[in-house]
Amino acid sequence: MTKYLSAVVCAVLLAHYASGAPAAIANGTSSSITSPTLSQNSASPSPTVPYASDDPNYPIFPVDSPPADPQPIRGSLGGTILGPQNIPIDQENPDLLAPPTTDNGEVLSAKWPFSLSHNRLQTGGWARQQNTAQLPKASNLAGVDMRLEPGAIRELHWHSTAEWAYVMKGETQITAVDQNGKNYLATVGPGDLWYFPPGIPHSLQATAEGNGTEFLLVFDSGDFDENDTFLLTDWLAHVPKEVLAKNFQTSQSAFNNIPGQELYIFPSDPPSSNATAPEDPQGQVPNPFTFKFSNVTPTQYSGGTIKIADSTTFKAATSIAAAEVTVEPGALRELHWHPTEDEWGFFLEGQGRITIFAAQSNAQTYDYQAGDISYIPASNGHYLENTGNTTLRFLEIFNSGIYQDVSLSQWLALIPPALVKAHLDLPDSLIDNLNKSKLGVVGPKSTA
């Protein structure tokens, strides 16, 4: 009887395993008679959750030609606005007015237009800033947009943070002296950079070229406040004149005409176009504080370009790295993330939208135009899509000496195909042709 029961149990178990085996094995044939691709080695899983929606999620209208009466309606969702409406803001933000159905949960605001910043007007120019007071999540970087009339000076000063700059228009002549008494002078043009380490005294002056200069300043602290800068005139106005006389070994009357308060920005005669730094017995700084970024040849991708400036090329810039990116109409800055540093972005030309994935099903889409700031925390997945009809040009800036990003497509291409198949059930033809190099900027799909 015992032998009989054992035989029955064995028969049942063998039948169970045979029914669960792949057909080729259950029929006694070898699975090696076919030549599947690597991705075909993974069985197609039955879904344990619903498939992702196929609902179209394009912007509900183009920002460059919005309707006169934009409404929060996407397909069968939403309804008309019956109360007051700020139409210009809704026209610039279709993906906030009627979010894609893929948006979910909560993502702290990732957009700030410089147009909403208080502007400090001076004789000779102006300045407006963004820090955590305007964009609370931007904890690692802050920005200033500054304009100087021809000859105008942003007075001699220094900061407790590093200063990185991108010249948008005109020419700026800079001066600096480092902690070892080594000096530096250079003129910087459109698309070029400068960088001053913390505590290095410097000045900025517009040349006579054109209508003056406008530049973007970025500082490696989100709490930076332009009004907390250490200014030469402000300091000396608060030092007793007898102390000044003793320090400079001269008479007190030599300081009769120093300003009684800060100058900040003030008019002056334009500097000489062929100016050079005064002779310095200590010599010049070992690594120039400027970088001809405009002369760097960008890497060309199918949908645009990327060029990078970090401490590997701009030696002085040890705490801020940047990329200048162009995205053609319909193209996409590929799905990616930055592993350890937040991205502070600035839009120079064109328009686009970014969806930020912040984990735990939180995702939100924002629309951007020229003059807007974006901020994306480290490791948050995102893309940038050009939603306009002209080239989109923007800056990615990081509180790091080295530029880093992780490409979604490259990651999937460099792991076992069976893993990709098991997770996403993508077609084998797609998995087998994933690019093992970064896509950078992806062009629109060819219709050929």
| Alpha helices by DSSP H, 353-398 | none
Beta strands (DSSP E) in 257-297 are 265-266, 290-291
Beta-sheet strands, E only, within 338-448: 343-349, 351-357, 363-369, 372-376, 381-386, 392-398, 406-407, 441-442
User: What was the pLDDT predicted at 46?
Assistant: 58
CA angle, residues 40, 44, 49, in degrees to nearest 5: 145
Residue 230 CB contacts under 8 Å (≥ 6 apart), including other chains:
157, 158, 159, 160
Q: Which amino acid is at 186?
A: A
Report residues of the chain scoring pLDDT below 50.
1-40
pLDDT one-digit tens code per residue, 368-383: 999 999 999 999 999 9
Hey, what domains does the chain have and what are their CATH numbers? 119-290 (2.60.120.10), 296-442 (2.60.120.10)
- Catalytic residue status for 341: no
DSSP 86-102: -HHHHHH-HHHHS--TT
State the DSSP code for 402: S
For residues 391 and 298, give the distance between their C-alpha atoms in angstroms, rounded to a whole number. Answer: 15
Q: How far apart are CA 100 and CA 364, in angstroms?
A: 8
Q: Which amino acid is at 380?
A: N
Separation of alpha carbons 106 and 191, rounded Å: 36
Helices (H), 98-237: 232-236
Q: What does the pLDDT look like over 129-156, one tens digit per residue?
A: 999 999 999 999 999 999 999 999 999 9
CA separation for the pair 119, 397 (Å, rounded): 23
Q: Rounded to whole angstroms, how far apart are CA atoms 270 and 206?
A: 7
Q: Distance of CA 204 to CAs 186, 193, 242, 274, 325, Å?
A: 10, 13, 30, 16, 26
Q: What does the pLDDT look like over 304-345, one tens digit per residue?
A: 999 999 999 999 999 999 999 999 999 999 999 999 999 999
Cα end-to-end distance, the chain, whole Å: 73
CA of 408: how far to CAs of 37, 54, 364, 414, in Å? Answer: 22, 21, 19, 10
| pLDDT at residue number 27 | 37
Specify the pLDDT at position 446.
72
Q: In whole angstroms, give the CA distance from residue 152 to residue 269.
A: 7
Neighbours of 326 (CB within 10 A): 23
Closest by alpha carbon to 431, among 36, 57, 49, 23?
A: 36
Of 91, 95, 33, nearest in space to 363 by CA: 95
